Amino acid sequence: MIIDLPSTTTAQVNSKLVEVRETGGAVALGRVLTLVIVTDDSAKTEDAIQAANEASREHPCRVIVLARGARKAAARLDAQIRVGGDAGASDVIVLRLYGPLADQAASCVVPLLLPDAPVVAWWPSEAPDVPSEDSIGQLATRRITDSAAEKNPIKALEQRRKSYVDGDTDLAWTRLTNWRAQLASALDLPPYEKVTAATVVGEADSPSSELLAGWFASRLNVPVSRAKATSGEGIVQVTLQRRSGAVDLLRPDAKTGTLTQPGQPDRRIALQRRSVRDCLAEELRRLDPDEIYEAALKAVPKVTKGRVATSSSKPAAKPAPAKASAESKAKAAAETKAKAEAPAAEAKPKRAAAKKATAKAES
């Protein structure tokens, strides 16, 4: 059910919510948190609402969407209440703010917050430079951004590093969960050797590649390089060097990865790129600071930027050294020449002996 309230106030929205609760029973009860989505009023707004609806089936919550409209318009608040099948396991309140109200989002949110429930703020596209100092960020226990959705993802990730405070997180980090799990489990198999170096190959503007390299630098304390891929999406390949050989995880098609390591058969692994819904649901499972994300984020500057890497369907075999190849060719040529000269060398003493015997007979 969708209820439109054009040119309204937050008091009228609250009154309507109470009315819906009384007529619909427990439709507005049992919420564990308030999720505030901050975005501009555009076609992408519905995508964010859909992702929140799907995530709310795991985390029942009240979703407040702040869709900021034209700043030059007259001050106006258009509201929409969605419950039932149009709101997943939550009640959704969409607030479209125009004119001066677009910059007064917090004053519109406070009257609609659930009492005694934590607040999570989510910026599905562009986020403020310092989320913790934003008016909505100050209300939130947890602040979720997505540097991959920014115009310049790598620059946005660097800004996240500079402005980090407890409670900040990024969906670019959440997308690494499967990669981290597969690589950690690979190191639990024999041979149990230390990693001596790590390489992450990914798109030039992939913040997840940067964070994965930072995670290796923070946890393994080994040299880590970050190379740019010429093909593929997101993270393309990860190589962990060990004394007996490399652990290599290659995903050229953004769907399926191939794990290769010494002493083990190659394994095919499902590594499809995660949806926003899955990442959001995972982030809503915890409201405490993510220390591992913080360490990985702060270790990004320790990563060495490598050369452009070309990915393939299988890990490339190491080419034979050029010097060894030249020596092999020279040795083969020498052996061929020796074989050709051998009959002539054997015939020479025989000819000399025959000549000597002929001379003796004539004398």
Rank 71-80, 95-104, 189-198, 205-214 by mean pLDDT and report only the highest.
Answer: 205-214
Is this model's pTM higher than 0.85 or not?
Answer: no
- What DSSP designation does 40 have? E
Contact of 118 with 112, CB cutoff 8 Å:
no
Q: Which of 271, 247, 119 is nearest to 190 (CA)?
A: 247
Q: How many residues are present in the chain?
A: 363
Structural domains of the chain ordered from first start: 2-145 (3.40.50), 173-305 (no CATH)
Token readout for 171 is 């969906």
Q: What pLDDT, in 10s, does the model give residues 139-176?
A: 999 999 999 999 999 999 999 999 999 999 999 999 99
Element (H, E) at 308: strand 304-309
Token readout for 187 is 């190191």
Token readout for 301 is 């500057």
Three-state DSSP class for residue 306:
strand
List alpha helices for the chain, DSSP H.
10-24, 44-56, 105-109, 153-163, 171-174, 177-186, 207-220, 276-283, 291-299, 322-362
Residue 322 clears pLDDT 50, i.e. is over it: no
Three-state DSSP class for residue 93:
strand
pLDDT of residue 355: 52
Strands of the sheet with 33-40, listed across from one edge: 2-5, 76-82, 91-98, 61-68, 33-40, 119-122, 142-145, 168-170
pLDDT of residue 327: 53
Q: Which of 162, 141, 145 is nearest to 288 (CA)?
A: 141
